[in-house]
Amino acid sequence: MSQETAVKVKNNEFDNMVRFAFRLTGVNILILAAVGVIGLLQPEEITAWLALLVLGLIGINLFANLIVFYLSLVGLFKSTLKWRAALALLFSLVLFALYLLIIAATTMAG
């Protein structure tokens, strides 16, 4: 395999990594919306299984958001899809900020 072909394959891997991060960002937004809907529609007395479900969704979302942050940060410097990587990084940072606001609001209220 020539050196030029190896560089193309490596660039394609970074591009695929950025595409995956961008798709995972969409999944993160959907999970956050589901948690928000559950939070708005929950009864006054939340059941234990619903609390565990929401906690599990939040844990999955935060872990996936860390993956998006890492992949888009690497893709920002190594990929040819810099705008898509920057957009995924921006969405990741916005989701982290939303979680910080939610945590601050719940600690102030409680």
pTM of full prediction above 0.85: no
The domain spans of the chain are 3-109
12-21 pLDDT per residue, tens: 888 999 999 9
Rounded CA gap, 15 and 7, in Å? 12
Q: Quick: pLDDT tens for 29-86.
A: 999 898 888 878 876 777 788 888 888 988 999 999 999 999 999 999 988 999 999 9
Residues 79, 2: Cα–Cα separation, whole Å: 20
Residue 2, SS3 per DSSP: coil
HSE, CB side, 13 Å, CA atoms: give it for residue 68.
Answer: 28
Sole residue written with tokens 């995972």:
24
